[in-house]
Structure 1
């Protein structure tokens, strides 16, 4: 059977059926008008009705043919039998018998359609010629050869169509194989890039963590050692500085382990952000001998862990820069909780610097740059105001994304819920 898609099959069904009914109607009209062609009209009309019903059944069960050989044979044998009977009853139906030729290719595969066409041609021609006794051999050969040649021509067309379809399918498969190879290469490239990006991100994270933890602790530890060296003649003061050295070393080791495991800073695991900042300021004030005033405004709420870590590290880095470069006498830290943002201000009355110049600590490659990166990672911003001799003010702004909202949205895990609101404030002196 001709290989066509469903849309073409539906269209072909109505075309075949329409042509068959038109040919049948024309033959019936001819048989009624021409009395010589139809000696007995009643059986002719009865056979015509049967042919009309049979053609309707063929149209009704059209989709079954490709899947049921028995029904295909029954359908075509019935059509040929009715053709033969109609030609026998009336010469007018000689104009109808040809309908069996296209139906053969609609019902059977091309290789079997040739035999079906031949059978239809022989049976109908034999009836018309009284068993072929009334015709010359040339006419018999022509009557049979004509349909067979037609069948061969149609079969050739179908063969060419199949060759083209196979060629197109082969070409499509080749393109698909090429595309799959390219896709595999792109996939491997993406994996390599993802690995490289992951390695780079991890290196940057570790660099920030080392700078914010180990480097700061080591710097403080060195300051304590220098201070201890200056008071060697005073055992109590020396012991105090050595205790600070031990505490800084233990804390640095703990923070290093937490950095490797990508955990939050220990103070944030134990306390709210305002309390953790206040405790960090207290320890720093004792170590540096500089007063620090901490203040919290608004209603403190637990934010996403990443946001709290970023703010905590900004304060840590700002205090480290003040200790190393500012020569300040006072430091102020304000944490403000607003409706949609959280603001952090760290101020000192130290040496300051030209805003257009190089900020103290910028030559290390981290410092202020690390602050900006951390804040940018959580959608925040960093602003710096400073003048030589008038101190420096660092302002950080981050979106106020509550821990509960972040958890519901599938954000970072580990959000701390149920923390009571409160206000923390005070003055710490060293």
Structure 2
């Protein structure tokens, strides 16, 4: 398992220094002691023996151990105690080994960050200064002075070890956070690209559905009306009226086809607001179907946004087309209500009704999709043999006055 917070280059360099410090300080102390003209009791043989003991301890208790064992707290403690003990023996034998005694200050970093770091620094300082003090001639003031030095050194060095660890740990976390942020930004960039692709595909699908609704609401209905009028003309000797209506429907369908291709609104809304367009639609529909259609507009009329007016007009077209094709009605009603926050469109008939008002025929789906696209909703109430009521509710988003 990878370490989420690997050591920094500084930590690795410091650890390599700590590994060689005992050998460097021991070798320097040995060279100075052997070069000294005054040799202590036991002379050079004792110096070499104690040095060999210290060297063997450093090798056996630390360097030659496996890396996994070497880093355990027990192994670190045993190694530190042995180094400090051999340093005390060597310093008491010859003062030049004070250099080797300093090794304990470096090894104290292995306990950081914990209170044992301070204990290790304090023990090293005590051996370092205590071995040079002539206890037989020491005064109280001198002992207090040495103790004060030990305390200050313990706080300074131990605190430095811990502060260094904490600072490095914080920097590691900052680097990790920056890395995670960069990864998140790259992931977000990928997601953004995916969303753009999906939005593009959704736009294509919406446009296809819009064109399908436009064709269904204009060309299909116009062609159906033409066919109805031509069939009626076939059954009558005087067919001029029906042929004229068929020609008018064909002309309107051609006009709507051109407008659909150009994505324009219905021509009925080009120079008029929704109530007038609804009145025109009702008159033309009633004339072509022979069904009596009553139109009523209630509330304070306000200019609505083009999208709202087009949607309500197309819903009315589709609902009336369904009445003409399926209801077999003799009377119908269209009510457009301005209620302030919303606009209501109700279309009723006294026809045969719908056996499945929740059905998903293209006409009903078209109306629902149009209304959902601008935050509206559609409700259908019908009882077989008692007619149908179609109700559309849509937010009254106002547009610019014409």
User: For this structure pair, what is the TM-score category when the shorter chain's length is used for normalisation?
Assistant: 0.5 to 0.7
**1:397 equivalent in structure 2:** 393
Name the CA distance, whole Å, in 2 between partners of 1:274 and 1:305: 13
**1:267 equivalent in structure 2:** 268
Distance 1:179 1:306, change over 3 A: same
Name the CA distance, whole Å, in 1 between partners of 2:275 and 2:187: 51
**1:124 equivalent in structure 2:** none
Q: How far did 1:192 drift?
A: 1.6
Could you say which structure has the greater relative contact order, defined with CA pairs below 8 angstroms and 6 or more residues apart?
1
**1:88 equivalent in structure 2:** none
Report SS of the residue matched to 1:350: coil
Matched, 1:254 2:259: yes
> TM-score, normalised on structure 2?
0.53
Name the CA distance, whole Å, in 2 between partners of 1:348 and 1:307: 24
Distance 1:374 1:231, change over 3 A: closer
Name the CA distance, whole Å, in 1 between partners of 2:162 and 2:189: 40
**1:331 equivalent in structure 2:** 332
Report SS of the residue matched to 1:367: helix
CA deviation map 1:307-346 (0-9, x unaligned): 3333222211101211221122322211122344432211
Distance 1:348 1:308, change over 3 A: same
Matched, 1:416 2:374: no
Q: How far did 1:215 drift?
A: 4.8
Q: How far did 1:159 drift?
A: 5.4
CA deviation map 1:213-242 (0-9, x unaligned): 445422321441464366478784546523
**1:288 equivalent in structure 2:** 289
Q: How far did 1:166 drift?
A: 2.4
Name the CA distance, whole Å, in 2 between partners of 1:165 and 1:370: 65
**1:211 equivalent in structure 2:** 213
Name the CA distance, whole Å, in 1 between partners of 2:315 and 2:248: 27
Distance 1:296 1:242, change over 3 A: same
**1:367 equivalent in structure 2:** 363
Name the CA distance, whole Å, in 2 between partners of 1:226 and 1:317: 17
Distance 1:374 1:243, change over 3 A: closer
Q: Retained in 1: the 8 A contact 2:308–2:374? A: yes
Q: Which runs of 5+ in 2 are unaligned?
A: 1-141
**2:95 equivalent in structure 1:** none
Distance 1:342 1:246, change over 3 A: closer
**1:352 equivalent in structure 2:** 353
Name the CA distance, whole Å, in 2 between partners of 1:191 and 1:266: 39
Distance 1:378 1:244, change over 3 A: closer
What does residue range 307-322 of structure 1 map to in structure 2 within 5 Å?
Answer: 307-322=308-323
What does residue range 130-149 of structure 1 map to in structure 2 within 5 Å?
Answer: none
Q: How far did 1:278 drift?
A: 1.4
What does residue range 296-315 of structure 1 map to in structure 2 within 5 Å?
Answer: 296-315=297-316
Q: How far did 1:416 drift?
A: 1.9
Name the CA distance, whole Å, in 1 between partners of 2:265 and 2:229: 31
Q: Retained in 2: the 8 A contact 1:379–1:399? A: yes
Q: Which runs of 5+ in 1 are unaligned?
A: 1-139, 404-414, 420-430
Distance 1:167 1:188, change over 3 A: same
Report SS of the residue matched to 1:302: coil
**2:38 equivalent in structure 1:** none
Name the CA distance, whole Å, in 2 between partners of 1:372 and 1:363: 10
**1:196 equivalent in structure 2:** 198
Q: Which of 220, 223, 226 in structure 1 is aligned with 2:222?
A: 220
Distance 1:206 1:279, change over 3 A: farther
Q: CA RMSD in A?
A: 3.8
**1:342 equivalent in structure 2:** 343
> TM-score, normalised on structure 1?
0.50
**2:14 equivalent in structure 1:** none
Distance 1:288 1:191, change over 3 A: farther
Aligned residues: 260
**1:43 equivalent in structure 2:** none
Q: How far did 1:276 drift?
A: 1.2
Name the CA distance, whole Å, in 1 between partners of 2:329 and 2:207: 30
Q: How far did 1:203 drift?
A: 1.9
Q: How far did 1:249 drift?
A: 1.8
Report SS of the residue matched to 1:270: coil
Q: Which of 360, 382, 386 in structure 2 is aligned with 1:386?
A: 382
What does residue range 225-244 of structure 1 map to in structure 2 within 5 Å?
Answer: 225=227, 227-228=229-230, 231=233, 236=240, 237-238=242-243, 240-244=245-249
**1:119 equivalent in structure 2:** none
